[in-house]
Amino acid sequence: MTVQDKLNELREQLTQYAYEYYVLDRPSVDDAYYDQLYRELEELEKAHPEIKIPSDSPTQRVGGIVLEGFEKVAHPIPLYSLSDVFNREELENFTERMRKSIGEGVEYLCELKIDGLSLSLTYIDGKLVQAATRGDGTVGENITENVKTIQSVPLTLSMPVNVEVRGEAYMPKASFDQLNKKRKELGETLFANPRNAAAGSLRQLDTKVTAKRNLSTFFYNIADISNVDVSSQEEVLKTLKDWRLKVNREFRKCKTAEEIWDFIEEVQGGRERLPYEIDGVVIKVNQFSQQEDLGFTVKAPRWAVAYKFPPEEVETIVESVDWMIGRTGVLTPTANLHPVRVSGSWVSRATLHNVDYVREKDIRLNDTVILYKAGDIIPRVKRVLLDKRAKSSQPLEIPTHCPICDSVLVHLEDEVALRCLNPKCSAQIKTRLSHFASRYAMNVDGLGPRVIEQLFEKNLVLDVADLYLLDIEKLLLLENVKEKSANNLYKAIQATKGSSLERLLYGLGIRHVGERAARVVARYFKTMDGIIQTSKEEITQIDGLGEVIADSLYSYFKNQEVKKLVAKLKAQGVNMMYLRPLSDEFLEVDSFFSGKTIVLTGKLSANRGKVKVKLENLGAKVTGSVSKKTDLVIVGKDAGSKLTKAEQLGIEIWNEEKLQEELSMEG
């Protein structure tokens, strides 16, 4: 046997064993034997560098490529979103519409709605050539190198077909728990749920990181079936499986709304036992000929809906409440809860938002409360179980002074929040430092919360300008910081001196001035001096900015302490000029909301003005009326004519929980 023959044999064996393990869940060999063959292949490839290693060799899945960024990918066939139904009545309305449009005897295929990240994979002659995210459905990002590290994704199909397949990448529950355990040990921020973890893993610039995250996939769609011999969704699943793509086996063919509902209840009852997270059931008309007759709206197919599970609710106990001060001085109560598992992860803390929220819900110490996750992400207290409250219970004592610096807390007229106005408050300083170093601000690699805490406690840094006074000798005073890491951190801080003005502006943490607003302002004024010397009226006139942002920006730079801080930054050589290209394209924000026209209607639980600012900072245009140009309508309680018009025009409609879920993904 030649070396080439041996290489081919080992690759075929390992590919087959990986398929059995990761796709079929039926391994035919133990891990030790697989590892032995893998090492043999690895050593043989190294010993014969003259023989080119094919891109689909099992050894090419380990990552090792460091990407500069993710290029945009246009989807030749759009990835549509699905309309949602939330109860049995809405489901029956859907099946009744199908009956009226198609006639009796409609078949539906019901599949689990995997809570992950949508993928589109392109194979040429059966070889994987491109993997892309869904993006906005029309344009996504090229994540090919990262997807190649996922063991369940075949680098070569069993047939030499030219095809685009679609599915979902997800993080198994076990992988998620293991990842968060490791992050906790390292003092890193924990992922909220497996979906966020999967999305973050697939957007790593270092493919080795993705390879370690143990992601998996399920595939359920062929973008263009014109060259594939299939006539139904059921046949698509069989074909994908035949091509060695991983397909979820938990699906059912149904003929009535009652059968569909039975399947939904069965799935919901066994949801916790699944090794992966789901958030609903997708219901599709099975036959493609009928799908074609039904067609699409602007946003979604008429022949499919997604039944969304209601948020899981669990009981827990409020053990204590922490009062925390953020970088803008806002006092935020956080409940410490008896640990409980909800929507896929353990929760022991939940924000109580503000004083008014605490009073409205009448939340007290030792109360038994109902907890849920808004959008399956953000832990929230829904209500107190009053029948379980002790008779001796007393209302929660609301602080009158800052818990950190003891300054009197102020309730400003236009806010529900209590606020500490002391600019020297240590809690505000530390959170401002963290924000200044964050990814979309100055992006100081290695300057995490633990380092900042030490810098502050040792009086080495009292404001953001002090960061630039640090040298290697001072950094070596910190615990667990050796010469190499001190040198790296010093270089990382010094490198940010050349950052463009909009990063500095955003990093200063000015109220209501998000990443997008900072870009717009920096681009308009070009220099920090131009911003400081301007009038509030001039800021208001800038396209895309409103009075709220203008007032906040103007007030901030009139503060004498701020002027001293800017002068201090200048003295350390921090750039004060806008350095980006002046093309309009730069103003595009890489977010789901970028370029979308959005309408808010009904009563929102969050402050409407703040929601508007957040959306605008992410590139959206928020308007007051619904028209054909509207892309998305956010609906609160008691929504009226705007909701009706949106439904008539077929515009995508979200509830507030869905909005908060997406905003948390962007943040």
Any idea which residues carry the catalytic annotation? 113
Q: Which helix (H) or strand (E) holds 520?
A: helix 515-525
The rounded distance, in Å, linking the Cα atoms of 493 and 513 is 23
Closest CA to 345 of 169, 202, 175, 216: 175
Length of the chain: 667
Going from the C-alpha of 241 to that of each of 154, 213, 221, 244, 664, the distances in angstroms are 11, 24, 11, 5, 35
Q: Is 657 helix (H, G, I), strand (E, B) or coil?
A: helix
Is the CB of residue 404 less than 8 Å from the CB of residue 325? yes
Neighbour-count burial of 370, counting CB atoms closer than 10 A to its CB (0-12 exposed, 13-18 middle, 19+ buried): middle
Neighbour-count burial of 140, counting CB atoms closer than 10 A to its CB (0-12 exposed, 13-18 middle, 19+ buried): buried
The rounded distance, in Å, linking the Cα atoms of 314 and 292 is 43
Query: Residue 492 phi/psi, 5° resolution?
Result: -65, -40
The rounded distance, in Å, linking the Cα atoms of 168 and 235 is 19
Q: Is 637 helix (H, G, I), strand (E, B) or coil?
A: strand
Tokens of 627: 């028209």
Is the CB of residue 337 less than 8 Å from the CB of residue 115? no
The rounded distance, in Å, linking the Cα atoms of 276 and 193 is 11
Q: Count CB neighbours of 300 within 10 A.
A: 18
Tokens of 11: 């690759």
The rounded distance, in Å, linking the Cα atoms of 562 and 552 is 13
Neighbour-count burial of 525, counting CB atoms closer than 10 A to its CB (0-12 exposed, 13-18 middle, 19+ buried): buried
Is the CB of residue 286 less than 8 Å from the CB of residue 232? yes
For residue 14, give the amino acid letter. L
Q: What single DSSP character describes residue 124?
A: E
At residue 472's C-alpha, the angle toward residues 466 and 473, to 5°, is 95
CA 236 to chain centre: 30
Q: Count CB neighbours of 9 within 10 A.
A: 13
- Helix residue ranges, H only, 203-304: 207-211, 233-242, 257-269, 288-294
Is the CB of residue 382 less than 8 Å from the CB of residue 369? yes
The rounded distance, in Å, linking the Cα atoms of 119 and 165 is 8
Order of strands, edge to edge, in the sheet holding 368-374?
Answer: 345-351, 331-342, 314-325, 368-374, 378-384
The radius of gyration of the chain from alpha carbons, rounded to an integer in Å, stands at 27
